[in-house]
Structure 1
Amino acid sequence: MLGGNPLGDRFGFRYWNNPGSFAPLYYEGNLGRFLGFLQCLIQASFTIAGPDYVSMAAGEAENPRVVMPKAYNAVFYRLTTFFILGALCVGINVPYNDPELTAAFANGEPGAAASPYVVAMNRLRISVLPDIVNALVLASAFSAGNSYVYCASRSLFGMALEGKAPKIFTRTNRQGVPIYCVLAVLAISLLAFLQVSAGSATVLSWFVSLITASQLINFAVMCFTFLAWYKACNVQGLDRSKLPYRAFWQPYAAWYGFVGCTIMAFVGGYTVFLPGQWSASSFVFSYFMIGLCPVLFIGWKLIKKSKWRKPHELDLRGEVEEIDEYTRNFVQAPYRNFADKWFNKAFGA
Structure 2
Amino acid sequence: MENEYEKDHQHVEEPYINGSKEANNYTDDMEGGLEMPERTLQRQLKNRHIAMISIGGVIGTGLFLGTANSLKNGGPLGLLLGYAIMGSIVFAVMNCLGEMISFLPVPGGHIKLAERLVDPALGFAMGWNYWYNWVIVLPAELSAAAVLIGYWTNGSINNAVWITLCLIVVVTINMFGARAYGEAEFWFASIKILTIVGLIILGIIIAAGGGPSHVATGVQYWKNPGPFVQYEGIPGALGQFLGFFSVLINAAFSYIGTEIVAIAAGEAANPRKNIPKAIKKVYIRICLFYILGTFIIGLLVSSADPRLGSSAGAGTAASSPFVIAIEDAGIPVLPSIINACLLTSAWSAASSDLYTSSRALFGLSVSGSAPKIFRKVNRFGLPYLALALSVAFSLLAYMAVSKNAWVVFNYFGNMTSICGLITWCGIAITYLRFHSGMTKQNIDRTTLPYRSPLGAFGGWYVLVSLCIILFFSGWEVFLAGHWDTSTFITTYLPIPFAFILYFGYKLVKRTKIIPVQDIDFVTGVREFDDEVDEEPPTTVLGKFFNAL
TM-score using structure 1 length: 0.89
What is the aligned partner in structure 2 of residue 92 from structure 1?
299
- Structure 1 partner of 2:248: 41
- Partner amino acid, structure 2, of 1:346: F
Shift of 1:7: 2.1
Q: Which residue of 1 aligns with 2:417?
A: 212
Deviation string for 1:4-31 (max 9, x for gaps)? 2112222221111211222332342222
The CA distance in 2 between the partners of 1:24 and 1:196, in whole Å, is 37
Correspondence for 1:7: 213
Alpha-carbon distance in structure 2 between the residues aligned to 1:167 and 1:348: 41
Pick closer, same or farther for the CA change 1:44–1:200 going to 2, 3 Å.
farther
Stretch deviating more after TM superposition (250-259 or 39-48): 39-48
Q: Contact 1:51 / 1:75 at 8 angstroms: preserved in 2? A: no
Q: Identity percentage over the alignment?
A: 37
Deviates further, 26-35 or 249-258: 26-35
Q: Which residue in 2 is equivalent to 1:135?
A: 340
CA distance in 1, matches of 2:318, 2:403: 16
Partner of 1:244: 449
CA contact (8 A) 2:271 2:528 kept: no
CA–CA separation in structure 2 for the residues paired with 1:331 and 1:7? 51
CA contact (8 A) 2:318 2:335 kept: no
Specify the SS of the correspondent of 1:47.
helix
Whether contact under 8 Å (1:51, 1:76) holds in the other structure is no
Distance (Å, rounded) in 2 between the aligned partners of 1:262 and 1:194: 33
Q: 2:517 aligned with 1:318, yes or no?
A: no
3-state secondary structure, aligned to 2:213? coil
**What secondary structure does 1:5 align onto?**
coil
- Given that residues 67 and 348 in structure 1 are in contact (C-alpha distance below 8 angstroms), is that contact kept between their aligned partners in structure 2? no
Matched, 1:186 2:391: yes
Which residue of 263, 266, 270 corresponds with 1:59?
A: 266
Cα distance in 2 for residues equivalent to 1:50 and 1:243: 25
Say whether residues 1:122 and 2:320 are aligned partners: no
Counterpart of 2:513 (choices 280, 298, 308) is: 308
SS at match of 1:283: helix
Residues 265-316 of structure 1 show CA distances to partners (whole Å, capped at 9, x for unaligned) of 1211112222222222111111111110111101111111111111111111
Please point out which of 132, 157, 177 is paired with 2:362. Answer: 157
Q: CA deviation at 1:124?
A: 1.4
Residues 206-260 of structure 1, C-alpha deviation per residue, up to 9 Å, x if partnerless? 3343111111111011011101111111111111112111111222222111111
What is residue 24 of structure 1 aligned with on the other side?
230
Shift in alpha-carbon separation, 1:207–1:42, aligned structure 2, 3 A: farther
Q: How many residues align?
A: 341
The answer (yes or no) to whether the contact 1:70–1:348 under 8 Å persists in 2 is no
Q: For residue 66 of structure 1, what is the amino acid of its counterpart?
A: K
1:286/1:304 Cα in 2 relative to 1: closer, same or farther (>3 Å)?
A: same
Structure 1 residues 81-90 or 198-207, which shifts more? Answer: 198-207
Distance 1:236 1:304, change over 3 A: same
* Residues 307 and 203 of structure 1, relative CA distance in 2, 3 Å threshold: same
| Aligned counterpart for 2:482 among listed residues 269, 277, 282 | 277
The one-letter code of the counterpart of 1:123 is D
The answer (yes or no) to whether the contact 1:172–1:179 under 8 Å persists in 2 is: yes
Secondary structure, counterpart of 1:278 in structure 2: coil
1:82 to 270, 289, 310: 289
Match 2:458 to one of 253, 259, 271: 253
Aligned position for 2:33: none
Q: CA, structure 1 residues 144+11, in 2 after alignment: closer, same or farther (shift >3 Å)?
A: same
CA contact under 8 A between 1:228 and 1:311: conserved in structure 2?
Answer: yes
Unaligned runs of 5+ in 1: none
Instruction: Report the Cα distance in structure 2 between the residues aligned to 1:80 and 1:224, rounded to whole angstroms.
Output: 26
Amino acid aligned to 1:48: Y
The amino acid that maps onto 2:246 is Q
Equivalent residue letter for 1:3: G
What is the alpha-carbon root mean square deviation over aligned residues?
Answer: 2.4
Q: TM-score, normalising length from structure 2?
A: 0.58
Residue 98 (structure 1) shift: 1.2
Partner of 2:471: 266
Tell me which residue corresponds to 1:68.
275
Residues 1:83 and 1:202: Cα distance change in structure 2 (over 3 Å)? farther
Change (3 A) 1:250 1:42: same
Deviates more, 1:163-172 or 1:84-93: 163-172
